[in-house]
Chains A and B, each alone.
Chain A
Amino acid sequence: MRNLKLSVLVSALFLFVGFNANAQDANTILKKVDEVMYSPKDMTGKTKIVLIDKNGKQTTREANIIQKGTDKRIFRFTAPSSQAGIAVLSLPNDVMYLYMPAFNKERRISSSVKSQKFAGTDFSYDDMEAKPNALKYTPKLIKTEGNAYVLELTPKSKKSAYSKVIMKVHKTHYYPISAEFYDKGNKKVKDGKSVYKKIGKYWNAQEMSMTDLKKKHTTKMIMSNVKYDQNLFDSEFTVRKLKQ
């Protein structure tokens, strides 16, 4: 009896290892995800941010985005009119500047707490960060499901608000399909989804949505007018430019 059990276990183990050997290494998959997400040199586009509350009520904001590499970005709001002109400049090493036209002043803002919401959306500063996933997480491949790899990502920083993220990655194109965020009580607290479309040679996250499961609040970010590799200069990403 005992031998039989053991042999079942052993063969199961072999099967599992065999499967793992055939499939790709979790690290490789995550690196490929980063390549898909962050390979453009730069990007410009428009985004429409739709906030949907638990009663289904929607409010909309619009912003222009310019981005270079993974760590320089400007979000410039164009609508609603009350917030038009507000701009957020993100620079390497968590340096951020906020410009408010009504005050005609910029202020450096510190986001020491990355779990805070970005501008009232369901995305936290942490979620918005364009830092490569491989630097943020330790991945583990848990299974394949249909045309997707399912990765379990464990944050490297103890400051993360999450205990783990379950990410589904497209098997052939390596863009993320969905991400489930778990809090430190191991309870799913956020649900992210994305729709990718190829623009030129790059995959573009045309629509991203994030749902706060506790508050039943959803944010959608819909991209349009996306252009890649226009050779943006670093000088576009300065405080002086922020004010314009």
Chain B
Amino acid sequence: MNKFAKAIVKLKWLIIAAVIGLTLLFGYQLKNLTINSDIISSLPDDDPVAKLYKNIGSEFGGNDMGMIVLETDNIFTTQVLEHVKQITDSLKITEGISTVTSITDVLDIKTTEFGLEIGKLVDEYELPTTQAQLDSLKTYVFSKEMYKGSIVSEDATATLVLFTLLDDADKQEVAKEVKEKIEALDLPEKLYFGGLPMMMNDITFLIVADMVWLIPIVFILIAFILLLSFRSVRGVVFPLITAALAIVWTLGIMVLTGYEITIISNIIPIILFAVGSAYTIHVINSINLSVEKDRKKALIKALAFIIVPVILASVTTAIGFISFVFGAYLTMIRDFGIFTSLGTLIALVISIFFVPAVISAFSMYNKNTEQTNTNKKNILSNIILQPLANLLFKHPKYIFSVWGILIMISISAMFFIQTSVNMANYFKKDNPTRVAEDIMQKKFGGSMPIYIVFEGDMQNPEVLKLMKKTGDFMETDHNINTTQSVADLVEQMNDAMGEGKKIPDKKDKIEQLWFLLDGQEIMPQLVSDELDRGIIQSKFASIATSDIENFDKNMTKFIEENSTENCKIQLTGMPSVYVKLNRSLLSSQFSSLIIAIFMVLIIVGLILRSALKGIFAAVPVVATIIVLFGFMGITGIPLDIATVLVGSIALGIGIDYSIHVITGFNYKLKETGDVHKAIENTIMTSGKAIVINVVSVAAGFLVLLFSQLVPLQSFGLLVAISMFGSGLGSLTLLPVVLILANRKKKITVK
């Protein structure tokens, strides 16, 4: 390691030039950084249900459907209808919008005294004005399943305006324009905006808000903590520069490789500020504590001492992040894992190459080593670390027992951990998207789309009858309000032809009824152009996993029993995706933790050249993770797309503290040959860096409490807690383990 450290000092100018060059290159890319708020795009292609959902959503336009809910006392007044028409008209002439459906503009098939009328529910140019007309409209709307509870709420206090976007439209641009235009109408009724395009627009706003507000807060906070800890300019500047460069490089590489910022990866800068500054903290701390008189020698010696633990620390952290790659269901989580671990490694490279190079190039050595050391000892060491060390030797078994009890409680609390996959819960309660979701839930039986896909000839009577049967079966589930398919339309037309409300028995009749359906705006939302695929559209009202799983089970059974050679049936939809996501949360939590623990054990064991030490190092973090899950069980913080990451991150970062303690212990044991002294010494030196690190990392993550997205808030809190836990564990539990282990069996010094 000495040679390595010497080489760094020798090649300082080359290193500095390379870092500046790369930073300019990556920094230049940042202008092309884009945000992807499309959650659907993150569904994995290797899961058939999710893939089908994605495909059906785009083929039949469901993913491009926006909705506006208008809420008032009574929909059936001329004034309200007039306002719905205003909204409808305004949407119709909005660039990028393909079709608009509302109570004033919806396909209606009715049998009249003359015969058949295919027209609109109401004449938009002659809205009903008299009470009699309004009453008769109300009676008619509620007599038809097509409208009741789907275009007008059953209590007649809310109505839906649905719009679809053109394929080539800039969805976010359209969503923004829709919101602005409709709000500019200044209508007296309450309006809510929902649907994926509107939600995406909202998410983009939240991502930008998080990045704009949280990054400066993290920056200032960590600067403040560093200033308190090091009381020197370079102690503040170097860690922050390291983190900043790591962020610029990582985001630059993201742009170069064609990735976008998502609701998860928007916290990469915050994580890198918190994590990436740590390695430089250790490097600087080591240089500060070096007592060598010759400055250059001091630097090299300090570097040689710290390189291994810092590499270990960052590699294990990177493993923590990369462990998501294997178990993650959503691609955005996989990408997040890859780039955060990359950023961690970049921070490592900068802290061991760039920071010492700059220090040596500009002779920024510590001016008065002796004084700083004693100064620091007085503040942190005497109050916290020294008493801690004393306590450890006095009562190792008590400390061991306290941890033991904590772990027992946590293990029993772990069984109460809940999961949360519903997107709506990701928004704060007062967020417009959340409010719109709630109102959709209350008035229109939810907003989670369900699609039953039929592959077969859409004009075949058997296929249409099966569609009808499936729709009827679905409606027996109390979470399904209405279903809609082309079979419903064919039935109505057949009725209008005077042959009863049923699917005709002969194909030629269906083909001729189709003559009137052709070109209707709703058709592309129900059947494919080739007429070889069709869907039943519905919505699911409950977000309870048990309800969803129950529905899923019943439908799967029904489909198995009813699929025929001529008609293949498949189920997909948001509820089905949620079921998968939910299962994957648990399995990915499990697999990523196992992978992370396993890899950390191997790496730590290899580098410390002792399997036993690898296991010792893992003790505090595993204990912390158990306590963490216990905490989640007790407080009711659910496992969701963000909190599922905490375990492995806690492991990856937390193991660092153990590594610092164990390497410090090894080093000191080699110097003194006395276990007692070695531990005390380690706590007094490495302990300081750990405390500073815990505080700065935890503070960095706690900033996420101000995030706009609920999972990120919980995520920040949980990571901060696990930082305290693993820091404390490495300074109490680990030394105790070392002490107790050494009492029984002397750890040999190599």
Contact = CB atoms under 8 A, between A and B. Distances in A.
Interface of A: 53, 57, 77, 82-83, 86, 97-98, 100-103, 105-113, 116-121, 158-159, 183-187, 214-215
A79 B506 CA distance: 19
Interface stretch (B32-40, B108-116, B608-616, B689-697): B108-116
B382 interface: no
Nearest to A109: B116
A94 to B, nearest CB: 12
Contacts of B519: 117-121
Q: Would you list the 6 A-B pairs with minimal beta carbon distance, nearest first?
A: A185-B93, A120-B518, A120-B519, A108-B115, A117-B519, A107-B115
B118 A116 contact: yes
Nearest to B509: A102
Given A105-B498, A113-B123, A98 B529 contact: no
Contacts of B408: none
A159 B125 contact: yes
Given A98-B516, A121-B519, A185-B93, 7 more contacts: A57-B529, A102-B508, A106-B115, A112-B119, A119-B515, A119-B519, A186-B93
27 contacts: A82-B508, A98-B116, A100-B497, A100-B513, A102-B509, A102-B512, A103-B497, A107-B116, A107-B498, A108-B116, A109-B117, A110-B117, A111-B118, A112-B117, A113-B119, A113-B120, A116-B118, A117-B520, A119-B516, A158-B125, A159-B125, A183-B92, A183-B93, A184-B89, A185-B92, A185-B94, A187-B95
B517 to A, nearest CB: 8
Nearest to A215: B98
Contacts of A106: 115
B619 interface: no
Contacts of B120: 112-113
A120 B529 CA distance: 12
Contacts of B496: 107
Contact of B119 (A57, A97, A105, A111): A111
Interface of B: 89, 92-95, 98, 112, 114-120, 123, 125, 166, 459, 496-499, 506, 508-509, 511-516, 518-520, 529
Contacts of B123: 112-113
A106 B114 CA distance: 11
A153 to B, nearest CB: 19
A242 to B, nearest CB: 13
A159 B118 CA distance: 17
A102 to B, nearest CB: 4
A53 B497 contact: no
Contacts of B509: 100, 102-103
Contacts of A215: 98
A158 B498 CA distance: 34
Nearest to B96: A214
Contact of A100 (B89, B512, B518, B520): B512
Contacts of A107: 115-116, 496-498
Contacts of A187: 93, 95
Contacts of A53: 529
B129 to A, nearest CB: 16
A210 to B, nearest CB: 12
A106 B116 CA distance: 10
B125 A109 contact: no
Nearest to B94: A185
Contacts of A57: 529
Contacts of A111: 118-119
A82 B511 contact: yes
Contacts of B93: 183-187
B92 A102 contact: no
A184 B100 CA distance: 14
A178 B95 CA distance: 24
A106 B123 CA distance: 25
Contacts of A86: 512, 515
Nearest to A158: B125
A82 B125 contact: no
Contacts of B98: 214-215
B64 to A, nearest CB: 14
Contacts of A112: 117, 119-120, 123
Contacts of A118: 519
Nearest to A122: B519
Nearest to A186: B93
Contact of A83 (B119, B499, B511): B511
B515 A83 contact: yes
Contacts of B516: 98, 109, 119
Contacts of B508: 82, 102
B110 to A, nearest CB: 9
B512 A82 contact: yes
Contact of A214 (B166, B513, B518): B166
Contacts of A102: 506, 508-509, 511-512
Contacts of B116: 98, 107-110
A110 B119 contact: yes
Nearest to B513: A100
A158 to B, nearest CB: 6
A103 B115 CA distance: 14
A158 B126 CA distance: 10
A138 B94 CA distance: 26
A186 B742 CA distance: 86
A212 to B, nearest CB: 10
A82 B506 CA distance: 12
A83 B516 CA distance: 11
Nearest to A83: B515
A91 to B, nearest CB: 12
Contacts of B166: 214
A215 B169 CA distance: 12
A116 B119 contact: yes
A215 B511 CA distance: 24
Contacts of B114: 108, 110
A163 to B, nearest CB: 9
Nearest to A101: B512
A109 to B, nearest CB: 5
A110 to B, nearest CB: 4
Contacts of A83: 511-512, 515
Nearest to A121: B519
A127 to B, nearest CB: 13
Most buried by B among A111, A187, A215: A215
Contacts of A214: 98, 166
A177 B17 CA distance: 69
B118 A119 contact: no
A111 B117 CA distance: 7
Contacts of A117: 518-520
Contacts of B95: 187
B217 to A, nearest CB: 44
A104 to B, nearest CB: 10
A101 B513 CA distance: 11
Contacts of B499: 103
A57 B518 CA distance: 16
Nearest to B510: A102
Nearest to A184: B93
Nearest to B497: A103
A119 B512 CA distance: 11
Most buried by A among B94, B508, B520: B508
Nearest to B113: A108
Contacts of B115: 97, 106-110
B54 to A, nearest CB: 21
Contact of B497 (A105, A113, A121, A183): A105
A112 B509 CA distance: 25
Contacts of B506: 102
Most buried by A among B89, B499, B516, B529: B516
A148 to B, nearest CB: 28
B543 to A, nearest CB: 36
Contacts of A158: 125
Contacts of A98: 116, 516
Nearest to B117: A110
B119 A119 contact: no
Contacts of B512: 82-83, 86, 100-103
